[in-house]
Structure 1
Amino acid sequence: MIHNAEQSQQAQPGVLTMVSGPVITASGMLGTAMSEMLRVGHGQLMAEVIRIEGDTVYAQVFEDSEGLRLGEPVSRTGAPLTVELGPGLLGQTFDGIQRPLAAIEAAYGPFIRRGVTAQALDRNRAWAFTPTASPGSILTGGDVLGTVPETAHVLHRVMLPPQMRGTLAWVAAEGEYPVDAVIARLEDGTELRMMQRWPVKEQRPYARKMPVEQPLLTGQRVLDCLFPIALGGSAIVPGGFGTGKTVVEQTLAKFCSADIIVYVGCGERGNEMADVLSEFPELQDPQTGDSLMNRTVLVVNTSNMPVAAREASVYTGITMAEYYRDMGCDVAVMADSTSRWAEALREMASRLEEMPGEEGYPTYLAARVSAFYERTGRVVACGVEAREGSLTLIGAVSPPGSDFSEPVTQTSQRVAGALWLLDATLAYRRHYPAINWNRSYSLYFSELE
């Protein structure tokens, strides 16, 4: 169902006082929280608070800000940027703020109108729910309420949200229900549904982190033999223009041994994402023989989309990956390219007149990159039922002029466990994948012995 964003309950909206590309300021916003989502102007554009000074807030707009006028209203939503999590994510294509592109295209055509959003999960589709918890059970966050066959080979576990706990008073009988239907109720009256929401910049909790012991098979002999990566590990793929970073990421998404793939196209060219959209539905999953899209979630943020949405896209992708990890799945995230995300951070910091660091990047670049890669790992999920899952991250890095000493490459290299460096000389000789075996390395050999 397509809809315009609901108006904030705030009685007195703020007033737009400045527009500078994707950055806006609004006054009269006392009480607004950092990272809170706003609705800007009469077009109800989506924006996120990134600085607060008195009753004035600075926000980054996730949509084109052209046409905004000073004095237009700015409304609070009372919540940060969140994603919907539940059955129906697999096989979907979202933009950086989890708007389902297929649903928007069906309603408005191939171009996204400003201020228009859509529910990420289809409320009209019914799912076959089988309860596994019984009334009287004492539940904690992460406990499984029931199961749903999301695809022919993926059994979706409907989990209690991490922050909830209580005694189960009622659970729905086996049958078909939409994601927003109440399928359980706690004794305190809390209603539970198959879907839940989670803020994208907050890491989902887990019981404990486990050492990495099993390899992620990539399907590429040069990687599996010489530079392996573990399930729950991380790797970066730096390379200059034309060395095949996107091809490596797409190849791993097609043939690696992960249960679930989350492919994030962050600031990449539209024709590269068009290749993914056209090829993946036609290819078979090497493990199950099913369509490759049935184990894949695509997050598309092409280079012509607003720059502020690039940062949101990588967090949207990894939050959905954490959700499937909590079910006990091995999830692989392909982030192509993290350099575009860093460039977005640099542009936003520049517009905020923050103190620049090396090459103009913000001084907190290292902290942001480290925190992002730290969301990987092999973990025991929350809940009574023992479930082990893993989240593996493979990020492409695009150093300008193949300068591997630039800040994004160096910062990523410090926190990643494997380096798969692409060599322009090998690429120009049509040697693919153009892995430079002299400069690449893996830190996972001892764990995988």
Structure 2
Amino acid sequence: MSKTGTIYGINGPVIYLAGNTGFKMSEMVYVGKEKLVGEVISLDKDCTTIQVYEETSGLKPGEIVEASGEAVSVTLAPGILDNIFDGIERPLERIAENAGAFITRGISVDSLDMEKLWDTKLVVNEGDVLHGGDIYAQVQETRAIVHKCMVPPDLTGTVTFVASDGEHAIKDHMITLRLDDGTEKQLTMIQRWPIRVPRPVHDRIPACVPLVTGQRILDTMFPIAKGGTAAIPGGFGTGKTMTQHQIAKWSDADIIIYIGCGERGNEMTQVLEEFSELVDPKSGNPLMDRTTLIANTSNMPVAAREASIYTGLTLAEYYRDMGYDVAIMADSTSRWAEALRELSGRLEEMPAEEGFPAYLASRLSAFYERAGMMHNLNGTDGSVTIIGAVSPQGGDFSEPVTQNTKRFVRCFWGLDKSLAYARHFPAIHWLTSYSEYLTDLGGWYRDHVSPNFVDYRNRLMAILNQESSLMEIVKLIGGDVLPDDQKLTLEIARVIRLGFLQQNAFHKDDTCVSMEKQFKMMEVILYLYQKSRELVARGMPMSVLKAEGIFEKVIAIKYDVPNDNLQLLDLYRKQIDDFYDAVLEKNA
């Protein structure tokens, strides 16, 4: 018989039970007549404290709370992809079918479709010895992804029964294992896993392969590795969500988990509508075939918002264990931190800076530490990459969430409102952003793109840094007094900003750019700089060089050179040589 307790106090999403209930820490419970889902967050001999993941209006003291016997967990099986869940893995489409457009309290639906039949191929035989994580069946979950059914990590045994290939529901008996103690365990395709417990791996391996996003300022200037962590902080309207959309659409991750954590409902609606219409450029299949959306908007209960991050992480780790590279878009971790702050206030905990709980830093570190490139229990390699948006109030990067996030991520893409208001997108500022993965990825760039890739990238950054220093002088005394070599630096920096860093998401050739094209564009810009410096050294004024229009031609490369015809880039070197000869001839 399950344990029960009686409500004696209610404070928003936090309820209190009198006496020693016998509940366990982090256990999932059902609250009141409507069986609202909750979680035990504090225990002592006189009182049990529970956070409820649903609206608590109408609850009253004296109602019964029933323990479930397990921690808050997610259901792991085929059917996760091409699905939309709320913060505790309830499928929103199924809820809409049962309850209409508005989620009613206490609604109980299965996380995944238990009746749907999947074409299943068993890949083990009777007598095989299986360990935790070993793959025993494969299911074509979507056109893009093969789902690999795995033995739960804590089981080891000998196969004594194998179901036949063919169509099976996820609740069907697939194999039987005889465990070491002689007991037999029947396995279905379903695993349950507590969301706050990281799934075990064999070991962590160094992150040395970039997550290629097709966005030049990310891939070239501030790259992130597969298994890496990145933060995208920025004020309202600077493009955090749209930057994450671009990465989700174009990155070379196998699977995308998009967590809308406390975002505005209309933004989440845009995500749902856009993603369902998009075509995956790699396979030609719908993008949703390799995407899962977790929608937890700002008007949903704060406790579920806090849990949604862990739900998404657990789904990502499950697919990582199959050997896939998974990218998590968490939008936004600031709203998650605000949920922590509200719950902490309800619990009357001592506040730290700006009212956030004292454990904000440890919660953020525990979240980002679950990223990584891993060697899995079954011998495969997989990765979880976490890209978290941060929404500092007023765009103030000194506030606690941004500052603590910077301690735990190795890639910082700082959005700048002045760039956004100038319509320069992505509005990632090259002077405030950084990536610590550049040295780790140097070998990959050398082997897969060019030995000169990192050197060219560093030369572009040096020019942009020189521009920043020169602009201080220009603001004081104007640009006309600068010598021509410094005027050339400013002009080449403008070419880099407009022709390379700025990218048009609505142009078919500019929305996603291959690493080869990015390198060749750098090569052309630096060749132009070299030839122009030679002309300036010969005494040619910048006014003469600008009159030829070559700088504008190089800026337009991103539009004029199709992604499937990169040979055209080689012609630009000839155009620059022709420009060089023409200037010399005219001014001989």
* TM-score clears 0.5: yes
The answer for the alignment partner of 1:395 in structure 2 is 388
**1:124 pairs with 2:124:** no
Report the Cα offset of residue 29 of structure 1.
4.4
The answer for the alignment partner of 2:218 in structure 1 is 223
* CA distance in 2 between partners of 1:242 and 1:236 (Å): 16
* CA distance in 1 between partners of 2:73 and 2:284 (Å): 33
The answer for the alignment partner of 1:138 in structure 2 is 129
* CA distance in 1 between partners of 2:273 and 2:260 (Å): 15
Counterpart residue type for residue 235 of structure 1: A
Counterpart residue type for residue 359 of structure 2: Y
* CA distance in 2 between partners of 1:83 and 1:272 (Å): 25
The answer for the alignment partner of 2:51 in structure 1 is 60
Report the Cα offset of residue 419 of structure 1.
0.1
Q: 2:314 aligns with which of 303, 316, 319?
A: 319
Report the Cα offset of residue 380 of structure 1.
0.8
The answer for the alignment partner of 2:177 in structure 1 is 186
Counterpart residue type for residue 23 of structure 2: T
Which of the two has greater strand per residue?
1
SS in 1 for 2:58: coil
* CA distance in 2 between partners of 1:246 and 1:227 (Å): 18
Counterpart residue type for residue 387 of structure 2: I
Report the Cα offset of residue 118 of structure 1.
1.1
* CA distance in 1 between partners of 2:280 and 2:419 (Å): 29
* CA distance in 2 between partners of 1:232 and 1:10 (Å): 41
Counterpart residue type for residue 445 of structure 1: L
Aligned runs of 1:29-428 on 2, under 5 Å? 29-187=20-178, 188-383=183-378, 386-428=379-421
Report the Cα offset of residue 28 of structure 1.
3.9
Counterpart residue type for residue 174 of structure 2: I
SS in 2 for 1:347: helix
The answer for the alignment partner of 2:2 in structure 1 is 10
* CA distance in 2 between partners of 1:151 and 1:138 (Å): 29
The answer for the alignment partner of 2:12 in structure 1 is 21
SS in 1 for 2:16: strand
SS in 2 for 1:268: coil
* CA distance in 2 between partners of 1:141 and 1:328 (Å): 15
Deviations 1:228-271 (A, max 9, x none): 00000010000011111111111111111100000000000001
Larger radius of gyration: 2
Q: 2:428 aligns with which of 427, 435, 439?
A: 435
Deviations 1:386-442 (A, max 9, x none): 200010000000111111011110111111010000001111111111001000000
SS in 2 for 1:219: coil
Report the Cα offset of residue 446 of structure 1.
0.9
SS in 1 for 2:397: coil
Counterpart residue type for residue 444 of structure 1: Y
Deviations 1:263-300 (A, max 9, x none): 00000000111011111111111211100000000000
Counterpart residue type for residue 418 of structure 2: T
TM-score w.r.t. the length of structure 1 is 0.96
* CA distance in 1 between partners of 2:406 and 2:108 (Å): 37
The answer on whether the counterparts of 2:19 and 2:45 sit within 8 Å (CA) in structure 1 is: no
SS in 2 for 1:229: coil
* CA distance in 2 between partners of 1:438 and 1:160 (Å): 48
The answer on whether the counterparts of 2:233 and 2:414 sit within 8 Å (CA) in structure 1 is: yes
* CA distance in 1 between partners of 2:253 and 2:361 (Å): 28
SS in 1 for 2:174: strand
Deviations 1:346-405 (A, max 9, x none): 11111111111111111111111001100000011112xx20001000000011111101
The answer on whether the counterparts of 2:211 and 2:253 sit within 8 Å (CA) in structure 1 is: yes
How many residues align structurally? 438
Counterpart residue type for residue 148 of structure 2: R
Counterpart residue type for residue 56 of structure 2: S
RMSD over aligned Cα atoms? 0.9
Counterpart residue type for residue 139 of structure 2: V
* CA distance in 2 between partners of 1:294 and 1:287 (Å): 12
Report the Cα offset of residue 198 of structure 1.
0.3
* CA distance in 2 between partners of 1:153 and 1:430 (Å): 35
* CA distance in 1 between partners of 2:142 and 2:289 (Å): 6
* CA distance in 1 between partners of 2:26 and 2:46 (Å): 15
Report the Cα offset of residue 153 of structure 1.
2.2
SS in 1 for 2:262: strand
* CA distance in 1 between partners of 2:24 and 2:396 (Å): 39
TM-score w.r.t. the length of structure 2 is 0.74
The answer on whether the counterparts of 2:226 and 2:385 sit within 8 Å (CA) in structure 1 is: yes
Structure 2 gaps, min length 5: 443-588
Which has the higher mean CA deviation after the structures are superposed, 30-39 or 334-343?
A: 30-39
SS in 2 for 1:182: coil
The answer on whether the counterparts of 2:75 and 2:191 sit within 8 Å (CA) in structure 1 is: yes
SS in 1 for 2:120: strand
Structure 1 gaps, min length 5: 1-8
Higher relative contact order (CA 8 A, sep 6+): 1
The answer for the alignment partner of 1:4 in structure 2 is none
SS in 2 for 1:312: helix
* CA distance in 2 between partners of 1:413 and 1:29 (Å): 41
* CA distance in 2 between partners of 1:181 and 1:409 (Å): 47
